[in-house]
A and B are shown apart, each in its own frame.
Chain A
C-alpha cells in the first residue's frame, strides 16, 4: 500500500510538472514579450492559452530526423537521460506540512540525504547534454557539450560548498528538516545570505539560463547540444531545460525562504505559499533572461573558481566556526 501511494504521488507529481512545463512555455513567451514590447502567443485560444497544446501536437507529428553521422544509441539515449533526471529532482521537495495532502504527506520521498540526492540527480542530467554533444556528430553540438562539461566543473563545486553552511546550521541533509528549521528560526536567507547569493548564481548556471546559456548559445553554436535534434527528441531536451528552471525555482525558496511556510506571519495555506515563491523565482529568472548578456564560458569558469568558490568556502568555514563555538547545530 505504501509503495502504491508513493507511486501514485510520483505519477501525480510528474503530470503536474509536465503541466507546469507546458504552461511555463506559454508564460515564458508571454512574459518575455512584455519585456520586449511585443505580444507573444495570443492566437490559439483565449490569451493564447492553448498554444502549448498546439506546440505539442506540432512536435509530435514532426518527422523524426536522425543525423547520418550520429552514434545512434547514445543519440537517442541523451534526451532520455536529460529528461528523466530533470524530472527526478523534484521528488524530495516538500510542498507542505506532514499530512496536509488529504491526510498524506505532500512529498514523494523524504530522504535523509535529500540535498545529496538533488546534487546527484542534477549532475547526472548534465550527462544528457554532454552525451548529445558527443553523439550528434556535429561540431557545434560537440562544442556545446564541451562547454556544458567545462561549466559543470566550474559551478558545481561552488553550488555544493554554498549549501554546506545551511546544512551545518540545520544539522541535517533532509529538505524537510531544513524547512522545519526555518519554520522556527526564520528564513535561512537571513542567516546565510552569502550562501544564498552563491547558490542562486550557480543555480542559474545549472539551469543553463542567461547569463550562463553558453551551452545553447544560439548566436554562436546554433543551439549547441540540441543543434541536431528535432521533433520529440528536441522537446525532451527543452523539457529538461525548463524542468531545471522549475525545480530550481522551487528549491531555492525551500532551502532559503522557508519553503511552504507563510512569509511575514501570513496565514498558512498548504502548497499556496510555495507556489507563490516559486512564481517569484520563475519571474526573476525570466527578468534576468530578458535583461542580461551571455557570458563566455571561460569567464564564467574563472568567476566560479576565482570568486564563487573561495567565497563559498570562506563562508562555510565561518559558519563552521560559529556553529562549533555554539556547540553544535542551532
Chain B
C-alpha cells in the first residue's frame, strides 16, 4: 500500500537519505482496543500520516435487524457497544417507542436511567483503566476493574447477564428489579466517590503523566465540531454539548447534573472529563434511587406489551394478544424516527424506517465511535508514536460500534 503523503521531505545528501516507515498497527495489537487497524507513516517516531482501516469486526447488525421483529432486536443492540451496552438498548427502545407511541411508566424510566448511568460508569472505568494502561501504568487497571466488577454483578442480578442485558422492552422493561437491588446499589454508591478520588490520585499531578498527556493530541473546538466529534472527547475540547441536556430524552430533564467541560482538548482533558462524568453519573443515580416508587414497569397497551402471565389462563383477549405479539410482534405505523441519545462515547441513535410491517424496513445506527475515529488522524499527526497510542485510547473506540 502506498502511503498518502504530501509532506515534503528535506533535501539531504544521497548517502544520508532518510525514508519514511510505514507501520501497520493492528488489527492484532495490544492497544488498538479491539481489531482496529491503523496504517501509520512514521518519520523516525513522528507520525506523518495515519489511516484507520475499519471493518474487521463487521457483523451486519443493521441488515440482521431488518429481519427480526422489533422486540427481538434487543438481542442485537447491546452487542454493538459491549462496553456501554445499556445505551444501545435504551437508544433503540426510545426510537421504537417514539415510532409506536408507547408510554413508558415512571418506574421503568427511572430504572432505565439508573442502569444506563451504571453502564456509563462501567464504560468510563474501562476508559480510565485502559487509558492509563496505555500510558504504561499497570496498577490503576486493576482498581478500576474492581468497581466495574461490582457494577457487572449488579447487572447480573437485575438482568441475568453481565454485558448483553436484553432487559429493555418497547414500552418498558422485561421485568422489575429484584428486591435486594436497591440496598445493594446504595451500598455501591456509598463507597464509589472515594474510589473515583483514588483513580484521580493515581495519575493527576504525576509529572510523567503531565508530560505524556498535556498538549498531546489537541483537538480545538471548531475542528472537533467539523469532524463530528461527540461525547466526552468533544466536551474535553470545551464544547458544551451533551444530548442529555441539549435534547433531553427518557426523563433526563428531571435530574440535576452538570456537564463537565475541558479547556484544551488534549489527552489530559479527555481523561479528566471522563473522571468528572463518573461523579456526575453517581449524582444522577443517587437522585434516581430516591425517585424510585413502586408501580408498573410496562406500557399497559396490549398491542405493545405482553400481558401478565397469569392473565393467559383467564382472559381470551390476553391469550390472543400474547399469541400475536409472540408470533409476529406489533406493527408500528408507517414512518421514520431518529432519537439522539448520549452514550459514554457520544451521540448514539437509531434511525428506523417502518413500512408498517412487524420488522423494521431499515435500521441505520449512528454510533459515536465510528464518527469519532476520524479525528484520530488530525489529533495524532506530528506527535510521537507513543502519543498516538494515548490519543487513540482517549478517543475511546469500541470496535463493535465502529464496524457494527
Chain A interfacial positions (CB closer than 8 Å to B): 32, 35-38, 139-140, 143, 147, 210-211, 213-214, 217-220, 222, 289-299
A293 touches B387 (CB 8 A): no
- A292 / chain B contacts, CB cutoff of 8 Å: 136-137, 206, 208
Q: Mark B13-52, 1 if CB is under 8 A from A, else 0.
A: 0000000010100000111000000000000010000000
Given contacts A143-B385, A214-B386, A219-B133, contact A296 B212 (CB under 8 A): yes
CA–CA, A299 to B385, complex, Å? 13
- B137 / chain A contacts, CB cutoff of 8 Å: 291-294
* B: interface residue count bin: 20 to 34
B136, B142, B386: which has the most chain A beta carbons within 10 Å?
Answer: B136
- B45 / chain A contacts, CB cutoff of 8 Å: 143, 147, 297-298
- Is B138 interfacial (CB-CB < 8 Å)? yes
- Is B97 interfacial (CB-CB < 8 Å)? no
- A293 / chain B contacts, CB cutoff of 8 Å: 132, 135-137, 203, 206, 208-209, 212
27 example contacts (A-B, Cβ-Cβ < 8 A) are as follows A32-B138, A36-B142, A37-B143, A37-B146, A139-B21, A139-B23, A143-B385, A147-B45, A211-B208, A213-B136, A214-B386, A219-B31, A219-B133, A219-B134, A222-B29, A290-B138, A291-B137, A291-B202, A292-B136, A292-B137, A292-B208, A293-B135, A293-B137, A293-B203, A293-B206, A295-B208, A297-B45
CA–CA, A244 to B139, complex, Å? 23
**Secondary structure of the B contact surface, majority rule:** helix
CA–CA, A296 to B212, complex, Å? 7
A219, A292, A295: which has the most chain B beta carbons within 10 Å?
Answer: A219
Apart from A36-B142, A218-B30, what are 16 other A-B pairs with CB-CB below 8 Å?
Answer: A35-B139, A36-B141, A37-B142, A38-B142, A139-B23, A143-B23, A143-B45, A219-B135, A219-B136, A291-B137, A291-B202, A292-B136, A292-B208, A293-B209, A296-B211, A296-B212
A36 touches B384 (CB 8 A): no
- A220 / chain B contacts, CB cutoff of 8 Å: 31, 385-386, 389
CA–CA, A299 to B209, complex, Å? 12
A299 touches B389 (CB 8 A): no
Closest partner residue, chain A, to B142 (CB atom) = A36
- A139 / chain B contacts, CB cutoff of 8 Å: 21, 23
Closest partner residue, chain A, to B136 (CB atom) = A294
B136 touches A290 (CB 8 A): no
Q: Mark B191-216, 1 if CB is under 8 A from A, else 0.
A: 00000000000110010110110000
A205 to chain B, nearest CB (A): 13
CA–CA, A292 to B384, complex, Å? 20
A290 touches B139 (CB 8 A): yes
A139, A217, A296, A299: which has the most chain B beta carbons within 10 Å?
Answer: A296
A201 to chain B, nearest CB (A): 12
CA–CA, A111 to B387, complex, Å? 45
Which A-B residue pairs are the 7 nearest by beta carbons? Answer: A294-B136, A36-B142, A293-B208, A219-B31, A219-B134, A293-B135, A293-B137
Closest partner residue, chain B, to A33 (CB atom) = B142
CA–CA, A60 to B77, complex, Å? 46
Closest partner residue, chain B, to A216 (CB atom) = B136
Q: List residues 179-236 of chain B with CB under 8 A from any CB of chain A.
A: 202-203, 206, 208-209, 211-212
B138 touches A295 (CB 8 A): no
CA–CA, A139 to B138, complex, Å? 25
A219 touches B211 (CB 8 A): no
- B202 / chain A contacts, CB cutoff of 8 Å: 291
Closest partner residue, chain A, to B135 (CB atom) = A293
- A294 / chain B contacts, CB cutoff of 8 Å: 135-137, 208, 212, 386
B138 touches A211 (CB 8 A): no
- A298 / chain B contacts, CB cutoff of 8 Å: 45, 384
B142 to chain A, nearest CB (A): 4
CA–CA, A32 to B385, complex, Å? 28
Closest partner residue, chain B, to A299 (CB atom) = B211
CA–CA, A210 to B209, complex, Å? 13
- B389 / chain A contacts, CB cutoff of 8 Å: 219-220
B284 to chain A, nearest CB (A): 28
- B212 / chain A contacts, CB cutoff of 8 Å: 293-296, 299
- B143 / chain A contacts, CB cutoff of 8 Å: 36-37
A210 touches B136 (CB 8 A): yes
- B209 / chain A contacts, CB cutoff of 8 Å: 293
Given contacts A139-B23, A214-B386, A219-B389, contact A295 B139 (CB under 8 A): no
Closest partner residue, chain B, to A290 (CB atom) = B139
B350 to chain A, nearest CB (A): 34
A217 touches B386 (CB 8 A): yes
- B385 / chain A contacts, CB cutoff of 8 Å: 143, 220
- A295 / chain B contacts, CB cutoff of 8 Å: 208, 211-212
Query: Could you say which of A35, A211, A296 contacts B384, with CB atoms under 8 Å apart?
Result: A296
Q: List residues 99-145 of chain B with CB under 8 A from any CB of chain A.
A: 132-139, 141-143
CA–CA, A37 to B150, complex, Å? 14
CA–CA, A219 to B147, complex, Å? 23
B386 touches A36 (CB 8 A): no
A219 touches B206 (CB 8 A): no
B21 touches A211 (CB 8 A): no
Q: Mark B309-321, 1 if CB is under 8 A from A, else 0.
A: 0000000000000
B140 to chain A, nearest CB (A): 9
A289 to chain B, nearest CB (A): 8
A296 touches B133 (CB 8 A): no
A69 to chain B, nearest CB (A): 14
CA–CA, A213 to B202, complex, Å? 19
Closest partner residue, chain B, to A293 (CB atom) = B208
Closest partner residue, chain A, to B24 (CB atom) = A139
B31 to chain A, nearest CB (A): 4
CA–CA, A298 to B384, complex, Å? 9
B131 to chain A, nearest CB (A): 11
Q: Mark B365-404, 1 if CB is under 8 A from A, else 0.
A: 0000000000000000000111101000000000000000
